[in-house]
Amino acid sequence: MLTNGYSTSNKMPEIIDKASLKTPVKPISTKVVSSTPGRLRLRVAHSHRQVEKMQHIADVLSANSHINQVKTNVSHGSIVINHDGEDGSLENVLATLKDLGIIFADVTEGNTEAAAGISSAVVDLNQRVKQSTHGAIDLRFLFPLGLASLSLRQLLNKGLQIETIPWYVLAWYAFDSFIKLHGTSQKQSTNDSKGVGGRG
C-alpha cells in the first residue's frame, strides 16, 4: 500500500499484462536526481504525484526482472529504483520507464508540464544535431546563424530602412551598448589594476 511516506515494492508474483504497457499514456515529466551503479533515484513532477499513478509506476517497475526493489514517496515525488547493476540493466530500466510514458526533464516547481516537454524535445534535438555533425555544430550556433541569414536577406531585398526604425529602438540600443561596453571596460581595468599590484 502506498502512503505519503516511503512505500516499498518487492518482486511481484503476478505477471502484469504486457499489453497495458503498449497503451498510449500521458507523458510524465520526471527528473533524474541521482544515478549510481545499481540505484536510480527519480523525482516526478508535482502534477503527477497521485497515489494511484505512482503505485502503478512502482507495480510495473517491480515486475521487471532486473529490478530488485522500488521505493516511492508521494509527497516528495520520489522514486528510488534498486536494480541488479549488471550490463544492460540500467538501459532495461530506462526502457520500462519510457514505456510508462516517463520523459526526463527539469521538474522544478515553476515549470509547467508543457514547458518541460518542450525543453526535453529541444535538448533531444540539440543532441541529435551535435551527434550528426560530430560535435562541430549545435542549436546555439544554428539559431543565431538563421537569424543572421534572415537579416541579410531583408537587407538585400529592402535596403537599410533606417528611416523606418522607431526612435525608442535606437535609444534602447544606444543605452544597452553603453552599459555593456562600459561594464566590460571597467572589469578589464580592475583586472589590469590587480595585475599591476600583484607584480609589486
The parent domain of residue 45 ranges over 6-108
Q: How many domains does the chain have?
A: 3
Phi, psi (rounded to 5 degrees) for 73: -140, 105
pLDDT at residue 96 is higher than 70: yes
Same domain, 118 and 130: yes
- Paired sense of beta strands 28-36 and 39-44, if any: antiparallel
pLDDT for the residue 12:
44
Of the candidates 88, 108, 128, which is a domain's last residue? 108
- Residues 31, 113 contacting (CB under 8 angstroms): no
Closest CA to 26 of 52, 4, 53: 53
Same domain, 123 and 154: yes
Question: HSE of 100 in the Cβ direction (CA atoms, 13 Å)?
Answer: 27
Structure pTM? 0.43
pLDDT band at 57 (very low <50, low <70, confident <90, very high): very high
pLDDT band at 86 (very low <50, low <70, confident <90, very high): confident
- Residues 48, 112 contacting (CB under 8 angstroms): no
In 84-141, which ranges are E strands? 102-104
pLDDT band at 25 (very low <50, low <70, confident <90, very high): low
Helix (H) / strand (E) element for 104: namely strand 102-104
In a domain, 199, yes or no: no
pLDDT for the residue 140:
86
Mean pLDDT of 70-87: 90
Closest CA to 44 of 77, 6, 8: 77
Same domain, 11 and 104: yes
Same domain, 36 and 74: yes
pLDDT for the residue 16:
43
pLDDT for the residue 63:
92
**pLDDT tens sequence across 100-136:** 999 887 655 445 556 666 777 888 888 889 889 998 9
- Give the span between the Cα atoms of 161 and 153, in whole angstroms: 13
CA 133 to chain centre: 22
Same domain, 12 and 99: yes
pLDDT for the residue 39:
92
Mean pLDDT of 168-189: 74
**pLDDT tens sequence across 34-53:** 888 899 999 998 888 899 99
